[in-house]
Amino acid sequence: MLEQMRKGAGSWAAKILMVLLVISFGAWGIGDYINRSNAIPPVAKVGRAEISAIEFSDAIRRESTNLQRRLGQALTREQMLQFGLDETVLNGLVAAKLYETNGTKMGLSAAPAVIRDYIMKAEVFRGANGQFDRLRYETFLRNEGYSEAMLVEMVRRDLLREQVLGSLLSGVDTLPNTAVDAVLTYRLETRVADYIRIEAAKLPAPAAPTDAEIEEFYKANPALYTAPERRDIAYISLTPQGLTAAMPVSDAEIAEDYESHKGDFVRPETRHVQQVVFQNEDDAKAAAEAVIKGEDFVAMAARTRQLKPADIELGTVAQGQLPAELAAPVFALPQPGLTQPVRSAFGWHLARVVAIQPGSTVPLAEASPRLKQEIALRKASEALLKLRPQVDDLIAGGGSLAEIAKAQNTALVSLTGLDATGLDATGKTAELPATQPAMLQEAFALAEDADPIILDSSDGSFHVLDVVAVKPSALRPLADVLPEVIRSIETRRRAEAALQRANQVAERLRVSGELLKEATAMNVLVQTTPPLARSGQPADRALSPALVSQLFAAKQPGEIVVGPGSAPGDVIVARLGRIVPADLAAVAAQRDTTRQQLAQGVVADLEERYRAKLQSEIGVSVNAAARARAMLQ
């Protein structure tokens, strides 16, 4: 939860909200989350603590929704089980209870004030002004399916977990250089090989497949010839920008906002500055004396430092845009002129102020258009907060999407024949709201006969989505895909022939070692790879990662390996030429970054072992029947 909040996306509103949160945190408790049903047996017990069926099913629902968004398709219960979703969720809940139980035993806690402060400062809840934004807060809760009490409880648990693990994991980022260098020496070793490529596409055409072979291949590979599921969807978008024009803003409101944020309309004094940096004070003083005696500053820069006019320009800058050492003397000059030489970490600066633009305040008349737009947008966001439950009521009352669109005076967008990747039947990409990137995934997770759903976006807008029709995935008739089946059979046979020839060549090479002779006989070139690394994209694009892996598995130069090329069906016969040890300079350059990466692995391993120890001490039992029932909720 803490990590989720840290990764996510003030004023008087934040202060009011702070008071509300203080009151709420004192009154909430967590009973509505944990004790929603005492009649249903718990899914698991961790010591004396319990994981309720509702807690488990809520977590399953959230994780399955996230997984569906990533995959772009709805998941059945069976698919969730195949993914091990129930096991992953239960392990997470058990771990949280273990840390909570042990933390309580250790006398650790997360006070309500600490939890409130963490939520108020969470990046995900900050608005454009960097302060807590109530709209973002509520949008986050809706999107993630949390109540406020649930959020508080989860933050409390995560803070407690951080305290429990803090002492255990401290110091793991100080792995010794010998261990880090051993890993880097292994990773940064490179290898060079000579190879010939057998291209499947250039081999003689195989015999045409018989009708029986075509039928057999078609039946054995139905996934290749199955049309994807397609859906017709419709949606409407309600955004702050769309409501802004309808929001009345009075002159009095603009004047009040102007006075409240007057500091935002102050234009600081700026100065056009040029500078030359010298290595020592004597050179800087001599240059200053020359300019004082009449030498042009630009000419002096060219004479002393061989600088062009563009090289000495700092441009028009405010005081805060310059290093402190230089800003003080530059902005102390009462009029354009030359500063005394000033020392900084970069050397001795000689600066010239060319022109001064005094500071000023943007008048209300000039600021009014901007303020009017901002106030209207703020009002529109507040209006959307009130509008959302009204739309929710319309949906609950059986209102169609067309009726909702008419009631809200907004356009109804219809898209037909979309697959899970967003392409229609012609291959064109559907135009979906930029503020709701998950809409397509939600569309494929929604049942055809389900009510429209509301999708909230982080900018305060929301969208209403409806699935109009579903055309299920289906195997295309053989007659429709016959040319594709024949091509697939021919391609596979060419690939098999290429592999057979490559194996024959490899056997001869292991005896003779005459790679050039084999290449000449086959009328192909012997090629040499650039230095190959163990991981990542091979430096030679003709090679596949699988072949590179085989080359690194070879024990010594001269060994012959056979593996796939990068093009489908191609096969490479390679001979390991050289093993190049890791460069010591590269090892040193990557040492600190690698230490951090290894430390992360150590942290994960230690946490896993610690969890296992707590589990054996505290005790964990799982009610399989309750767990299975909760999966159906």
Compute the residue count for the chain.
633
Nearest to 538 by CA among 196, 181, 192: 192
Nearest residue to 589 via CA among 41, 62, 188: 188
Query: Would you place residue 465 in the very low, low, confident or very high pLDDT band (cuts 50, 70, 90)?
Result: very high
Q: What is the pLDDT of residue 435?
A: 80
Q: CB-based contacts of 438: which residues, under 8 Å, 6+ apart?
A: 69, 455
Contact 100, 30 (CB under 8 A): no
Residue 124 — pLDDT band, cuts 50, 70, 90? confident
pLDDT band at 498; cut points 50, 70, 90: very high
User: For the ranges 217-221, 285-289, 595-599, which has the lowest average pLDDT?
Assistant: 595-599
CA 222 to chain centre: 34
- Spelled out in words, what is the top-level CATH class assigned to the domain 269-358? alpha beta
What's the rounded Cα separation, in Å, for the pair 194 and 200?
20
Within its chain, how far is the Cα of 621 from the centroid? 36
The per-residue pLDDT for range 430-462, each reduced to its tens digit, is: 888 888 878 888 898 888 888 999 998 877 889
The residue to which tokens 């997770």 are assigned: 445
CA–CA gap between residue 155 and residue 120 (Å, rounded): 12
Considering the segment(s) 230-249+382-472 as one domain, its CATH architecture is Roll (3.10)
For the chain, percent of residues with pLDDT exceeding 90:
44
Of 521, 509, 502, nearest to 559 (Cα)?
Answer: 509
- For 137-146, 335-344, 442-451, which range has the lowest pLDDT when averaged over its residues? 137-146
Structural class in CATH, domain 2-171+613-632? mainly alpha
Question: Which tokens sit at 357?
Answer: 């633009």
Helix (H, G, I), strand (E, B) or coil at 363: coil
Which position has the token pair 């053989």?
478
For the question of whether the overall pTM of this predicted structure is more than 0.75, the answer is: no
CA-based torsion, 216, 221, 227, 231: positive or negative: positive
Q: What is the pLDDT of residue 30?
A: 39
Give the pLDDT of residue 27. 37
* 73 and 64 Cβ atoms separated by less than 8 Å: no
Which part of the chain has CATH 1.10.4030?
A: 2-171+613-632
Spatial separation of the C-alpha atoms in residues 367 and 258, rounded to whole Å? 8
Task: Please give the pLDDT value at position 13.
Answer: 36
Please, which residues have CB within 8 angstroms of residue 313's CB and are 6 or more apart in sequence?
Answer: 274
The mean pLDDT value for 287-293 works out to: 95
CA distance between the termini of the chain = 23
User: Residue 188 has what pLDDT?
Assistant: 92
Ranges 65-79, 89-103, 169-183: which has the least confidence: 65-79
Q: What is the pLDDT of residue 409?
A: 87
CB 498 within 8 A of CB 570: yes
- Take residue 153 and report the two structure tokens written for it: 């409880």
For the chain, residues classed under CATH 3.10.50.40 are 269-358
Beta bridge partners of 235: 413, 465
pLDDT in tens, 353-392: 999 999 999 899 998 998 999 899 889 888 888 898 999 9
Q: How confident is the model at residue 351 (pLDDT cuts 50, 70, 90)?
A: very high
Q: To the nearest whole number, what is the mean pLDDT of the chain?
A: 85
At 545-577, the pLDDT tens digits run 999 999 999 999 999 999 999 888 999 999 999
pLDDT tens profile 178-225: 888 999 999 999 999 999 999 999 999 899 999 999 999 999 999 999
DSSP assignment of 227-266 equals EPPEEEEEEEEE-HHHHHTT----HHHHHHHHHHTGGGGE
pLDDT at 417 over 60: yes
Token digits of residue 386: 């009130």
Is the confidence at residue 71, as pLDDT, over 70? Answer: no
DSSP 120-149: HH-GGGB-TTSSB-HHHHHHHHHHHT--HH
CA 36 to chain centre: 35
Residue 326 has pLDDT above 60, yes or no: yes
DSSP 26: H
Give the whole-angstrom CA distance, residue 343 versus residue 332: 16
pLDDT tops 60 at residue 14: no
The pLDDT assigned to 547 comes to: 93
CA atoms within 13 A on the CB side of 30: 12
